[in-house]
Structure 1
Amino acid sequence: MASIFLLLGLLIPSLKISGAQSIGVCYGKLGDNLPSESEVVELYNTNGIGKMRIYWPDEATLQALRGSNIELIVDVPRDKLQSLTDAGAASDWVRNNILAFPDVNIKYIAVGNEIHPDYGEASSVLPAMQSIQNAINSANLQGQIKVSTAIDTSLLGKSYPPNDGVFSDAANGYITPIARFLAENGSPLLANVYPYFAYTGNRDSIDLQYALANSVGIVVEGGTRYRSLFEAQLDSLYAALEKVNAPDVKIVVSESGWPSEGDPAATIENAGTYYRNLIDHVKGGTPKRPQGPIETYLFAMFDENQKQGLATEQHFGVFSPNKQPKYELSFR
């Protein structure tokens, strides 16, 4: 009997760790009042945040991450995509930004973020992914580091009901060969999923509590029961992948967040509710993919006062620049 309790004691912490490992936080640096990189890594460790995404291979951040064991997504920024279609340039990029940091736990390389089919760089995304994959293979790291790209849900032509999710005609020719590449290499698709933007674009037809993953009841869409808009958006992407013959490609949610200022729906209360509910939701799966947890990266670590665009863009942080938490969240 004692041995059984000992076994349970070993298993239960491992289950807790597995749940915690599904949550990361994106680290944007577009602010003039942010803490140093070493302070940021310490803040991740202190709060039990085991995953980070950065939007370019920033050397100061990579240096601070050495030996931390924080799992990392490193982005290839948009202005580098065309050059990295060249095999030699891709090898140099991997050598300088990946191989140079063997004690940093790099998990994914995101080749472009939210590149749309009509962007000039769109034709470079897949060739750059292939070149970087070849460089990763040459370093024998293909089992450790996965090459992908990050999309947003605007590539969907239809998302409701989720089982009818399909990529738009404009996006289909762009995303289909990318999905094939991901399937061939055992890589996930990175997706930025924002119920906030879906809600603010359709306030009359989407319930706020459903968008906040705070529904009292279970919403039925197309005959399938959903607890939140987040789950429905994710399943519409899975349905779209099935329709381009990539049913086995996993989705990693590379961004999801809710702003705290700049719009009537962007309040401290709503943002805190969304982040808390999201952390709870991703411990499980979705109706189409019930096996969880869902690897998810909250956007973002800090409010960034130099971000361009709508006023809300500067208020997505789960921490203030002074390192104080904006919400009561448990990442452990």
Structure 2
Amino acid sequence: MAGIRNLFTIEMALFGLLILVVLDFTVAQTGVCYGRKGNVLPPAPEVIQLYNQNNIQRMRIYDPDQPTLEALRGTNIELMLGVPNDRLGDLAASQDNANTWIQNNVRNYPDVGFRYIAVGNEVRPSREDTSQYAPFVLAAMRNVQIAISAAGLGDQIKVSTSIDFGILSNSYPPSEGVIKSEDQSYLGEIIQFLVNNGAPLLVNIYPYFSRIGDQNISLEYALFTSSGIVTPDGTRYQNLFYAMVDAMYAALEKAGGSTLVIVVSESGWPSAGGQDTSLDKAMTYNTNLVKRVKEGTPKKPGRAIETYIFAMFDEDQKSPEYEKFFGLFQPDKNAKYPISFN
């Protein structure tokens, strides 16, 4: 009888472990992007305190801001650190430059929880405002990867780049997602780099921009509040965010990236300044986003989507006007509307 009890105990322990693994696989932690293009934003230590108070455990920053890195020391916040586009040429030019960048901005902060290095943001040959940086992205990624590996951090920190959804020439139905012909060679090489290094692709996905660009997309579908649609290939999509993620997955499969995981490095909805903007709409989108990323898409059911909401604060230095109002918080640290990250 004792043997049976012991066997039962072992089986229950294994069952409990299985449950924990499943829960860990399906529950995503939503992070928030911390942009600083505002005139009256609070100092970095107060920002980190605000993250902690609201149980926001992941952060994206777009450059190695030293006050922010200092304030992150000893916290449990995991960080996506950006290499600004205007530094890509330097890091691509020599391994020494990349080594120095990693030494100054990563190795000097051993008590900061670095998760990703995002080498460039929304760079692609077909995008007029970033095309000049495209020749440097892959070389910079390689040099940063070598520097990270030499520091013994290759298993802890993944090197990637963040792309925008506009890199697709077709996204509907999602199964027919495909990369623009003029960007295929560029992204194809990056995909192989990511596959070889076991890193995800970072993608900025904004149903807001798709909605204002195509009025045939219903507002409810973009805000997660519709009953959904059935695409021509027979797949039901409850919301536009899932459809956009799956379109990117389909495009990656066609480009040799079937094993890649997508991390949504930006998504959000502005509360003012443009078409379909209001506090209520922003709250509806972001509240539903936090819930929905835990569930997985029709193409990847049960796979939580690591996602970073843009952004922590309104940023009054940005343009056009709606770009000023993506924040979850006012510069005085008051929440613009209730939202939970639990």
What TM-score comes out, normalization by structure 2 length? Answer: 0.91
- Quote the Cα distance in structure 2 between the aligned partners of 1:63 and 1:16: 33
- Quote the Cα distance in structure 2 between the aligned partners of 1:17 and 1:141: 23
Cα RMSD of the aligned pairs, angstroms, is 2.2
User: What does residue 45 of structure 1 align with?
Assistant: 52
- Quote the Cα distance in structure 2 between the aligned partners of 1:320 and 1:261: 13
Of 275, 290, 297, the residue aligned with 1:286 is: 297
- Quote the Cα distance in structure 2 between the aligned partners of 1:124 and 1:181: 14
Offset at residue 262 of structure 1 (A): 1.0
Offset at residue 3 of structure 1 (A): 11
- Quote the Cα distance in structure 1 between the aligned partners of 2:295 and 2:235: 16
User: What does residue 32 of structure 1 align with?
Assistant: 39
- Quote the Cα distance in structure 1 between the aligned partners of 2:223 and 2:141: 34
User: What does residue 30 of structure 2 align with?
Assistant: 23
- Quote the Cα distance in structure 1 between the aligned partners of 2:96 and 2:280: 50
- Cα separation, partners in 2 of 1:177 and 1:324, compared to 1, 3 Å: same
Equivalent AA in structure 2 for residue 73 of structure 1 = M
Mapped pair 1:209 → 2:220: yes
Offset at residue 22 of structure 1 (A): 2.1
Q: Write out per-residue CA displacement over residues 130-182 of structure 1, whole angstroms, 9 at most, x where no aligned residue.
A: 00000111111110000000000110011110000000101101100000000
User: What does residue 324 of structure 1 align with?
Assistant: 334
Offset at residue 117 of structure 1 (A): 1.0
Moved more, 8-17 or 53-62: 8-17
Offset at residue 18 of structure 1 (A): 6.9
Offset at residue 36 of structure 1 (A): 1.1
Mapped pair 1:233 → 2:238: no
The list of structure 1 runs, each at least 4 consecutive aligned residues, that deviate by more than 6 angstroms after superposition, is 1-20
- Cα separation, partners in 2 of 1:8 and 1:35, compared to 1, 3 Å: farther
- Cα separation, partners in 2 of 1:4 and 1:181, compared to 1, 3 Å: closer
- Quote the Cα distance in structure 2 between the aligned partners of 1:15 and 1:127: 37
**Identity rate of aligned residues, in percent?**
50
- Quote the Cα distance in structure 2 between the aligned partners of 1:210 and 1:248: 28
Offset at residue 220 of structure 1 (A): 3.5
Q: How many residues align?
A: 330
Q: Is the 8 A contact 1:24 1:50 kept in 2?
A: yes
Equivalent AA in structure 2 for residue 100 of structure 1 = N
User: What does residue 252 of structure 1 align with?
Assistant: 263
Offset at residue 208 of structure 1 (A): 0.6
Offset at residue 42 of structure 1 (A): 0.7
Moved more, 58-67 or 261-270: 261-270
What TM-score comes out, normalization by structure 1 length? Answer: 0.94
Q: Write out per-residue CA displacement over residues 99-150 of structure 1, whole angstroms, 9 at most, x where no aligned residue.
A: 0101000000000000121411101000000000001111111100000000
Aligned 1:111-126 pairs, distance under 5 A:
111-118=119-126, 119-126=131-138
User: What does residue 169 of structure 1 align with?
Assistant: 181
Q: Is the 8 A contact 1:162 1:221 kept in 2?
A: no
SS of residue paired to 1:171: helix
Of 280, 284, 289, the residue aligned with 1:269 is: 280
Q: Write out per-residue CA displacement over residues 172-223 of structure 1, whole angstroms, 9 at most, x where no aligned residue.
A: 01100000000000000000000000000001x1011001111134544531
SS of residue paired to 1:215: coil
User: What does residue 4 of structure 2 align with?
Assistant: none
User: What does residue 108 of structure 1 align with?
Assistant: 116
Q: Is the 8 A contact 1:21 1:51 kept in 2?
A: no
Q: Is the 8 A contact 2:138 2:190 kept in 1?
A: yes
Equivalent AA in structure 2 for residue 199 of structure 1 = R
Moved more, 283-292 or 273-282: 283-292
Q: Is the 8 A contact 1:20 1:331 kept in 2?
A: no
Who wins on radius of gyration, i.e. which is larger?
Answer: 2
The answer for unaligned runs of 5 or more in structure 1 is none
SS of residue paired to 1:81: helix
The answer for unaligned runs of 5 or more in structure 2 is 1-7
- Cα separation, partners in 2 of 1:174 and 1:225, compared to 1, 3 Å: same
Equivalent AA in structure 1 for residue 182 of structure 2 = A
Q: Is the 8 A contact 2:27 2:304 kept in 1?
A: no
